[in-house]
Amino acid sequence: MDRELACEIVKDLLPLYVDKMVSEVTGKSIESHLEDCADCNEIYHNMIFHMEGEKQTEEVSDVKRFLNKTKKMYLLYGFLGLSLIAILVCMIVNLAVNKGITWSLIVASAVGFADVLVYVLLTCKKFRLCTVMVVISIGTVILLSAIQFAGYCLMGMGTIWIFRYGFPILVLWLLILWIPVLGGTFLKWNIWYCGALFLLLTIAGDYITKLLIGDYVWNDVLHLRGFMSNAFGELIGSILLGVIGWIKKRK
């Protein structure tokens, strides 16, 4: 009876003993018991084995995380280095040929936009899609402004079109992209529902874009032939994606 009680006490104390959280006197008593009790000794060794396995698993996970982080860092630095070289080469050629900075400003804006986008994709963990959309929204505004400035002010080409239909069309299509993204992020829509909504919005976006640039008048929107040629494919695609999304959600 005393042995059974002693075994139960030792089994309760073994986790603390393995973690070295018992007093010296208690530790010696447990060691003495383990020398004489095969059952408790087996439990002790099994506990040591599992703890070592868990420790090794944690160490392997830490190494993998470190390697992934290092790989992303070198990839990012390499991409940024190549981008900087490309910008410098373009500016040197631009200065040599045109005696000034003209089209290389557009190249620099596009490359910088791509760099920021790659950085966000590699480093952002929470709300990645929304963060990417913020970068795309700001980046496209800057890029469009650079194109207008370089073309009209530096190269003397074209007119000031950016306020007439450049920004309105850009805002329209950014809104078409943002609505499905917000639906998927906050309303938890699946990707099929988001795709279906995007196709529906592109129908309206296509008509509004053509109205802004003067290709359409409002009467053309009501013609069946115009609808069949410009929106029928998107409508069928939206219905198919919606059905697939409904089936996936039911499962």
Greatest Cα pair distance in the chain:
102
The mean predicted confidence, pLDDT, of the chain is 84
Asked if pLDDT for residue 79 goes beyond 80, the answer is yes
pLDDT at 219: 60
Q: Residue 3: which pLDDT band, with cuts at 50, 70 and 90?
A: very low
DSSP 165: I
- Tally Cβ neighbours within 10 Å of residue 211: 15
The pLDDT tens digits of the residues spanning 165-175 come to: 899 999 999 99
Q: Is pLDDT larger for residue 151 or for residue 60?
A: 151
Asked if pLDDT for residue 104 goes beyond 90, the answer is yes
pLDDT at 176: 96
Asked if pLDDT for residue 125 goes beyond 70, the answer is yes
Q: Is pLDDT larger for residue 28 or for residue 54?
A: 28
pLDDT at 21: 81
DSSP secondary structure string, 79-114?
A: HHHHHHHHHHHHHHHHHHHHSS-SHHHHHHHHHHHH
Task: Give me the percent of the chain exceeding a pLDDT of 70.
Answer: 86
Q: For residue 204, how far is the Cα from the chain centroid? A: 28
pLDDT at 5: 47
Q: Are residues 249 and 190 in contact, defined by beta-carbon separation less than 8 angstroms?
A: yes
H helices of the chain, where?
2-18, 24-36, 38-98, 103-123, 128-148, 167-186, 191-213, 218-221, 224-230, 232-250
pLDDT at 245: 92
Q: Is pLDDT larger for residue 44 or for residue 241?
A: 241
For the ranges 6-15, 204-213, 220-229, which has the lowest average pLDDT? 220-229
- Nearest C-alpha neighbor of 245 from the set 202, 178, 215, 200: 200
- What 3-state DSSP class applies to 216? coil
pLDDT at 62: 67
CA distance 229 to 207: 12
Q: Residue 223: which pLDDT band, with cuts at 50, 70 and 90?
A: low
pLDDT at 228: 57
